[in-house]
């Protein structure tokens, strides 16, 4: 009996140790992720503060260092017309996002945040922003479906479709991690999590990770417009896509 009790004690200690180890590991992991996220945010903030030429303090979005160059690709808009991004994205600020219409979670959250931010800004600011949504579900999304989807957020949002090859070309040209375009065997597709903000200097200096609230866009858009107009020749450059690589 004495022995058995001791054995039970051993079993309990074993049980507690085993569970404790698992819980501890999970906590450690969460702690590490939290710390690194904080560190990343702090680092990003420092970089933005140190970036010359961007007034008004750090952006709510995440600074891209180095910035991304305006991509070269042509897709088809929801009216069936070709849309050459370097030539046709002519607004001082272009918000670019890759998603798909049957995405019920992340994509509508992003688009709704942008739509709400634009609806709350003064018209003279909102009018300087163009939102471009490129579908990664080339199997199912056509122009009509994309138009119907985007109209939920803002009838002015531009929707682009293409073949899987064309959308992959666009993704590569943007410089984002390659994702899985929808195929018969791979559904749902993957897509980049961020909205990229291109400005008049033909660069994306800031991106908006998933979860960015309307207030982040609303706060940053006036500054992004300033960034575009800070260079008086920015608008002219849009008319000359050939000069994109010459911009320092």
Hey, what are 227's tokens?
A: 């960034």
- Whether 84 and 70 have beta carbons less than 8 Å apart is answered as no
Contact range with another protein by CB under 8 A, out of 33-41, 97-105, 161-169, 222-230: 97-105
x/- mask, another protein, residues 45-64, rule CB under 8 A, reads: --------------------
Token readout for 218 is 């609303």
CA atoms within 13 Å, Cβ hemisphere of 17: 6
Torsional class of 80: left (φ above 0), alpha (ψ -120 to 50), beta (otherwise): left
For another protein (CB under 8 A), the number of binding residues is 43
In angstroms, what is the minimal distance from the CB of 87 to another protein?
A: 27
Minimum distance between the CB of residue 3 and another protein, rounded to whole angstroms?
Answer: 6
CA–CA distances in Å: residue 132 to residues 1, 7, 31, 156: 75, 67, 37, 9
Instruction: Figure out which of the listed residues 48, 68, 96, 111 binds another protein, where binding follows CB under 8 A.
Output: 111
* Shortest Å, Cβ 48 to another protein: 18
* CA separation for the pair 81, 203 (Å, rounded): 25
What's the token pair of residue 114?
């942008």
**Smallest gap from residue 101 Cβ to another protein (A):** 4
Residue selected from 45, 51, 77, 116 as contacting another protein according to rule CB under 8 A = 116
User: For residue 188, is the peptide bond before it cis, meaning its omega torsion is within 30 degrees of 0?
Assistant: yes
- Asked if 133 and 158 count as a contact pair (C-beta separation under 8 A), the reply is yes
CA 73 to chain centre: 18
30 binds another protein (CB under 8 A): no
Q: Contact letters (x/-) for another protein, 130-159, by CB under 8 A?
A: ---------------x---x--xx------
Task: Tell which positions 187-216 bind another protein, by CB under 8 A.
Answer: 188, 190-194, 210-211, 214
Minimum distance of another protein from residue 56's CB (angstroms):
24
- Tokens 């006036």, located at residue: 222
- Each residue 212-241 as x (binds another protein by CB under 8 A) or -, in order, gives --x---------------------------
User: Quick one: CA dihedral 135, 189, 172, 40, positive or negative?
Assistant: positive
Q: Angle at Cα 45 formed by Cα 176 and Cα 85, nearest 5°?
A: 30
* Residue 107 beta carbon to another protein: minimum distance, rounded to whole angstroms: 8
Of residues 120 and 233, the one with the C-beta less far from another protein: 120
Residues in contact with another protein by CB under 8 A are: 3-4, 7-8, 10-12, 14-16, 18-19, 22, 101-109, 111-113, 115-116, 145, 149, 152-153, 176-177, 179, 188, 190-194, 210-211, 214
């Amino acid at each position: 009996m004495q022995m058995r009790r001791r054995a039970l004690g051993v079993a309990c200690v074993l049980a507690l140790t085993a569970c404790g180890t698992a819980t501890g590991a999970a906590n450690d992991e969460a702690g590490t992720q939290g710390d690194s996220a904080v560190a990343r945010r702090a680092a990003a903030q420092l970089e933005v503060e140190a970036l010359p030429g961007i007034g008004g303090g750090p952006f709510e979005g995440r600074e891209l260092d180095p910035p991304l160059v305006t991509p070269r690709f042509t897709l088809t808009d929801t009216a069936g017309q070709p849309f050459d991004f370097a030539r046709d994205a002519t607004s001082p600020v272009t918000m670019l996002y890759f998603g798909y219409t049957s995405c019920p979670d992340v994509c509508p959250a992003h688009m709704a945040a942008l739509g709400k931010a634009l609806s709350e800004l003064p018209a003279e600011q909102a009018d300087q922003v163009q939102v471009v949504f490129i579908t990664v579900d080339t199997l199912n999304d056509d122009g009509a479906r994309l138009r119907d989807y985007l109209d939920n957020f803002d009838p002015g949002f531009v929707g682009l479709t293409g073949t899987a090859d064309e959308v992959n070309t666009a993704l590569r040209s943007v410089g984002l991690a390659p994702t899985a375009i929808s195929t018969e065997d791979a559904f749902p597709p993957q897509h980049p999590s961020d909205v990229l903000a291109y400005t008049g200097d033909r660069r994306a200096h800031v991106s908006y990770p998933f979860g960015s609230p309307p207030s982040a866009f609303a706060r940053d858009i006036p500054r992004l417009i300033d960034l575009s107009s800070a260079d008086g020749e920015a608008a002219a450059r849009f008319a000359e896509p050939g000069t994109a690589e010459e911009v320092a």
